[in-house]
Structure formats: structure tokens, C-alpha cells
Amino acid sequence: MVWTRSIAFLSFSLLFIHIGAVSVSRILLLGDLQVSLLVHTSHLLYLCFFQIKRLAKGNARDTDLEQKDISEINLAAGLDLFQGDILLPPKSRNGLRDPTYRWKFPIPYILADNLELNAKAAILHAFEMFHLKSCVEFKPYAGESSYIIFQQFSGCWSQVGDLHVGQNLSIGLGCDYKAIIEHEILHALGFYHEQSRTDRDDYVNIWWEEIIPGYEHNFNTYDDTFITDLNTPYDYESLMHYAPFSFNKNESVPTITAKIPEFDAILGQRLDFSAIDLERLNRMYNCTSTHTLLDHCAFEKTNICGMIQGTRDDADWAHRDSDQPGQTDHTLGGRCTGAGYFMHFNTSSGAAEEAALLESRILYPKRKQQCLQFFYRITGSPSDRLTVWVRRDDSTGSVRKLVRMKTFQGDSDHRWKIAHVTLKEEKKFRYLFQGTRGDPQNSAGGIYLDDVTLTETPCPTGVWTIQNISQFLQSAAQGDRLHSPRFYNSEGYAFGVTVYPRGRVTSVDPEHVGLAFHLCSGENDAILEWPVMNRQAIMTILEQEADVRHRMSLSLMFTTSESHTSPAINGSVIWDRPSKVGTYDQDCDCFRSLDWGWGQAISHQMLRKRSFLKNDDLVIFVDFEDITHLRRTEVPTTGRRHSPQGLILHDRESRASGEGSGRAAFNEALPGDLAAGRQKRSVENTGPLEDHNWPQYFRDPCDPNPCQNKGLCVNVKGTASCRCVSGHAFFYTGERCQAMQVHGRVLGLIIGGTAGAIFMTFVLGSIIFQRSRQ
């Protein structure tokens, strides 16, 4: 018994010795790392607390997305770039001043596979805006020496101008919005920020005392030797302008305001290109036409855009203005005397079934799909009709073959309506509008046509017009919502849009409209795949400018993911079959899923300032498309590439480091030997790392490498930070990785093994001693 107790006591003692040895060894060995471990542990506890707190708020708020501005995203990523989001090479080149750094079109591009799937599709959507509104063109990379590779580093940033090698453009987390991507591409095309103009102080106030200390350089202006305004006026609406609260130290106090207060609401808009943005772009690159706009007519000129009256019909369309009561155009809404024209076909006289034909000029398509968009109203008999035809090349060179596309019938709603007709023309053609009198005896009006646009882009899948929107904006309570009709995409999935006129219940500002997407049950659900993944939902609040090139519409998009779950449906994916996870809505006789989107998408002030509420209608487009094919888009490259120091390239890591610095220099490297992953020469005797007095932006604190023992140097906010090598048995510590240490578990095993050997020696000795006494 005594022997047994002794063995038990020694075993427990050995156990505590082993635990103590491991603990003490770790305390002794970690040294300075112990502090970082404590900090890391505290950070993990904070993240856990934050996650619990977020979940405690309830599921409804988990579906709220927020569009942050570029400066906010980059500050959160620890970046301090030139002008907030520009990565400059060691010798800055001005894309505006030096023609040799202007791109030749089309610009080759690569979508790196470290990009989020939604970001890839958003980049392609931004390309289409350039194709529609300018002569800028993009094409997939095919071995060219100059190209842009879009990657997910930390933050949103770009380089300026064509550097004549492969160059990076970062679309980091939170940057995957059309307007942000357009902003960064404009930098790549050679443009700086609007508020850096020489004459900036004539138009805006900079509140220097409200800027975060150390970030004042972002508000510098530059003379005409550095940038040029291309002889255009200061543009408060520019996509390249800072937002009012950029780099502010007090979240409720702006750093920049307009000297004309009316422009404060649109300063730093992230909708789309402004008219002056496009004017500068087209001047810089000598643009005379766009790539996907085939035709546009607001009928403001007497030549009616080259359209002709039919010669084999019974009557003609009339070119009218808005002077007569009740006959206002769509373009100007009757606001201007002597302006505001439209085409009109009177259906209150003549014989039934008489027709008038209005034909476009001959058009020459480049793509195989077009979208004809126009506004119309029918104020006569319900039997009046507006029919869209196409006159095609009959393969003899003559445009004469007629094909009917779509007919719009009169009804009791005499308001302006938006219409879309999909065309699939590959040869030269005309489009035609045929007005037909249905019942002249019971007609007191006619057919009106205005603001016709033909683009070589797909038509929207769903179009929802909310009439009398002003009353909803005024009378709705916070949290009230409107559901769209049910739409179907080409795959057969049914879906809809939810609008919150004054935001969600928990929205901070009720003077914003919320916008969200949801699935609906439909007739095809039994054969479709559930949950539906990798589909991008695109919702666009249309600005109803007549000229599509000047529309600053709001487009928001996200991609369905398995991470979109909700406690309200027991943690299920909200993109599962709506009849399973949704709730029944008697208005559509269908189930609607939980919605996902933005609680505050656009302000009421912005809606009223621009042309979003023309004729008191809010028009929303919605699409839902499979983008699974974009999961693998990256291709191998040849030649040189500029590599931003301190930002880990996707070739070395599957994701951006999160510790990249904007004060990064450049290295020219071959793709197989990227600068971000290359070992630099070492410096043994240097002062403290934080004492380096490197000039801002242009020098690299990691060159020469201050880290010893093969430590990797990373540029963190302009300061060198060593990442020390760690093996199975040994690791390195210290500011420069100068001290070699033994892993605690190894030392613990050594001490434990030694103690075990002593114990076994003691046991064997005791046994031998007892036997010798016997």
C-alpha cells in the first residue's frame, strides 16, 4: 500500500512537473512574443464578443449590407496611399501630362482567382459602362506586354497610367461596387482626384483641423505641371471627388464641404461617371464614339435623329412639343417653354386599323444582341396599339425583310411607361415603330413616343415601376416595405425586389431608401437546384436621363453564397427553396424568401436632386444571373510585372495579406520571381526599425532587409516589420528575428523525458533494494 501510494504521488508529481516545465519553458522562451500572444488572445476575445453581439441583434440585420467609401475601406486596411488610393512608382509619372503613359485600346486585363466571385462580375459590369459611355475598351489578356491584373489585395487602389508592364489594380474586400471599380479604373487611365486641382480652394472648403493627423497630405493640391483639368470646370459631381467625411477624425464632422452648399449632397457620389468625367475621358483619349451605343433620340431636333416616315402606311407621326396642356414630353417633363419634343400619332380621327410607321436609320451591329429601350404612353382607346418591328437585310444587301418583335396595348393608365425589346441582329437593320388606331370613335388621345435608346447590351430581366413614389417617401413609416411583382430569369428561378421607402426599422437614417433582393416560389421549382449558389443579383435604380451616357444610375450587386444564413430559419441558407424557407404572400400567391441587401441604398435628397423621380416614378431594374463560370479566370502571364512591395501577391498567397502598406515602392519582376516573396539582402547592424526616416511613398523600409536568420520583412504603414522563421523545433524572436528559441513543446518533452528517466531509475532502484533486503 505504501508503495502504491508512493507511485501515485510520484505520478501526479511528474504530471505537474511536466505541465509546469512546458508552461515555464514557454514563458521563458517567448519573451517579447508573450505580449503579442496576449494581445492576439485579447483580439480573439474581442472578435468573439463582437460576433456574439452581432448575432444578438437578430437575423434581420445580418442581411443589411453597407457600401463604404474608398477612404474608409483603405483606412481600415491600414493603408496610407498617395491621395488615399493611388500606388505610385518610385518616379511618379503623370498619365494626364505624358501621352506615352496613355493606354492603347483595347486594354488587356486579367481577373485573378484571388478575387471574390462577386468582384469579378462587378468588374465586367464596370467594363460595360466604359464600353457604353466612352471609347475605352477592354479585352482578355493574350500575352501583351502592357495589361492590368485585377487582384484582391488589402483595400481599393490603382496605379496611374500605362506603365508598359503588367500592373496591379486592387479590388479588396468591400470594393466590389460598380462605381468604386470605375473610380479605380479612371486612376489607371491617368486621372487623379478632382479636389487635387490647382483651383480647388475656389470651390470647396478643407477643414484641416478635422483631418486625421498624418493624413493631411491627401488634401494637397498640385500645379499645372503635375495635373491638368483638360479645360473643364470644377466638377462637384465627379466620380473622382472625395466624399465629405474622407479621412475625418470625428465621424460626424466633414473634412470637405462645397462653397455652394447645394452640392454637399452629391459631393463624392459613388453612382456613376458624371457628364464632366466623361468629357475629360473622351478629350484625353480623343473619343468620337462609344462601343455599344447604336442609337439614341430624344426628338429635340427637327431632323428627329435621321428617322423617316413610312411610305406604305396610312398616316404619319407628328413631331410635337410640350406647349399644349396634357401633352408633356418625357425628356423635360414640360418644364421648358419651346422645348421638350416627342413623336405623336393621333388615334382620335381617321379609320380603325389605320397605321403610321416611323423607321430608324440603317444601323450596323457589332455584337449579336441589342436592347431597344423607349418611353411611351397611350392615351386613346384601349384597342390602340404600338408595335415594334425590325427590317432586316434579306441577304441581297437590301434592308427590307420585316419581322414583328413586340406589341404594346393601350389601357387606362395614360402615364409615361418604360419599355424594352430584345433584338438579335447580326447584319445591318432598321427598327420601326408602328402606331395603329384601334377605335377612333372612342379615342380622345393618341400614342406618344420619346427617349429612344438602342444599345448592344442585354435588356434587364425585370423592370419595376413604382408610381406616385413621393407619397411613399413622405407617408411610409421606417420599416415599411414594398414588394415587386415576381420575375423569372432565363434559368427559371423566380425572384423579386423589396424597397424600404424610409429604410429598415434599424436603419440609422430614415431619409434613405432601402433596397433588397429575394427569391420567390415559382412554376419551375421542382426541377431547379436548391439552394441556388453563385448567382449574382444586380439591382439598378434608374436615373431617367434621356441620354443613357449621362445617366448616373445606382447599381448594387451581390452573389448568393452558402454563408447567407439566418437564425430566423434555423440557420438555413436563405437561398434555399422559398416554399421551404420563405413565407407566403397572398399578393403574388407565392412564397417569398428573406431579403438580402442594403438598408440604406440611396438618400431621398439624391433621388430628388438627380432625375430618379421623373413623372413621380421610381424605375428599378433587376437581374439574376449564373456567374459560376467566373470561378477560374486567371491565365499565366509572360514578361515583366510591377509588384507592390509589402502586398503579398496571389501567386504566393491565396489571399491578400491584410498588412500591406500603401507606402510601397515598386519592383520590376518576372511572374515566377515576384518581389513580394523574394528574399532581400540582410543588414546586421541597424538602429531600431521605427527610427527609419524614409521619405513618404517612394522608399522601401524593407530594402535592405533588416531581418536576420532568413526573416521576411513586411512593410506595415511605412515601417519595417519582421516575420520570423519557425521550424518544428526552433523559432526566432526579437525585433529582427535575431534570437533563436526552442519551441515550448520540445523543451517540455525534454524535461518530461528527463523526469521520467529519473522516476524510472528511482523505481528500479527501489525494487532492487527491496529484493536485496529480502
Residues involved in catalysis? 184
Give the span between the Cα atoms of 668 and 364, in whole angstroms.
44
Rounded Cα–Cα distance for residues 640 and 162 (Å): 13
> Which residues have CB under 8 Å from 413's CB, separation 6+?
none
Burial class of residue 393, CB neighbours in 10 A (0-12, 13-18, 19+): middle
Cα–Cα distance measured from residue 245 to residue 753, given in angstroms and rounded to the nearest whole number: 62
Q: CB under 8 Å to 349, separation ≥6 — which residues?
A: 440
Task: State the alpha helices, DSSP H only, in 31-141.
Answer: 32-56, 59-62, 70-76, 117-133
Q: 558 and 596 in contact (C-beta within 8 Å)?
A: yes
Annotated binding residue 550: no
> What 3-state class would DSSP assign to 695?
coil
CA distance 46 to 283: 52
Distance (Å, rounded) from C-alpha 618 to C-alpha 570? 35
Do the Cβ atoms of 153 and 660 come closer than 8 Å? yes
Residues in the chain: 774
Question: Is 296 within any annotated ligand binding site?
Answer: no
* 187 annotated as ligand-binding: yes
Q: DSSP letters of 486-537?
A: PEE-TT--EEEEEEETT--TT-S-TTEEEEEEEEE--TTGGGS-SS--SEEE
Please give the Cα distance from 4 to 72 (Å, whole number).
68
CA distance 277 to 518: 34
For residue 252, what are the contacts with CB-CB under 8 A and spacing of at least 6? none
Q: Is 642 annotated as ligand-binding? A: no
DSSP state, 212? P
Q: Which residues of 373-389 are buried (b: 16+ CB within 10 A; e: fewer)?
A: bbbbbbbbbebbbbbbb
Smallest Cα–Cα separation from 354: which of 416, 438, 424?
Answer: 438
Cα gap 194→631, rounded to integer Å? 36
User: Which residues define the annotated binding site for Zn(2+)?
Assistant: 85, 183, 187, 193
User: Which residues define the annotated binding site?
Assistant: 85, 183, 187, 193
